[in-house]
Amino acid sequence: MNAKSEAIQPEGAEGMQDVNLEVILDVPVTLSMEVGRTRIPIRNLLQLNQGSVVELDRAAGEPLDVFVNGTLVAHGEVVVVNEKFGIRITDVVSPAERIRKLK
């Protein structure tokens, strides 16, 4: 089977008819990367100005999280491609783990 005609069946979907991926291949999704997070009081947020530094919860050199429509799908590292930032995927979250997180 080629990728265009390949049908899949989600885990735990016994008895459901096969799903044709062709119908969703051109649907746009939002891909985003997260460097880290932090929580700060509104008081500190209002004091931020040009040159302020906000410490994040992730150490330098740790992989970034890659999200598709808000769902974690991979981890990667920052690269520069044609003078623009990019990401090299270093680890992909398994489909079973992604489905488990949706529930």
Distance CA 14, CA 16 (A): 6
Please report which confidence band the pLDDT of residue 13 belongs to, taking 50, 70 and 90 as the band edges.
low
Residue with tokens 């040009």: 50
The number of distinct structural domains making up the chain is 1
Query: Which residue range(s) make up the domain with 32?
Result: 28-102
CATH number at residue 38: 2.30.330.10
Q: Tell me: the pLDDT tens digits for 34-91?
A: 999 999 999 999 999 999 999 999 988 899 999 999 889 999 999 999 999 999 999 9
Q: pTM value?
A: 0.65
Distance CA 26, CA 48 (A): 41
Q: What is the pLDDT of residue 1?
A: 42
Over 50: is that where the pLDDT of 5 sits?
A: no
Please report which confidence band the pLDDT of residue 99 belongs to, taking 50, 70 and 90 as the band edges.
confident
User: For residue 23, what are the CA distances in angstroms to 4, 7, 19, 52?
Assistant: 10, 11, 9, 47
The answer as to whether 13 is a domain residue is: no
The answer as to whether 94 is a domain residue is: yes
Distance CA 74, CA 37 (A): 17
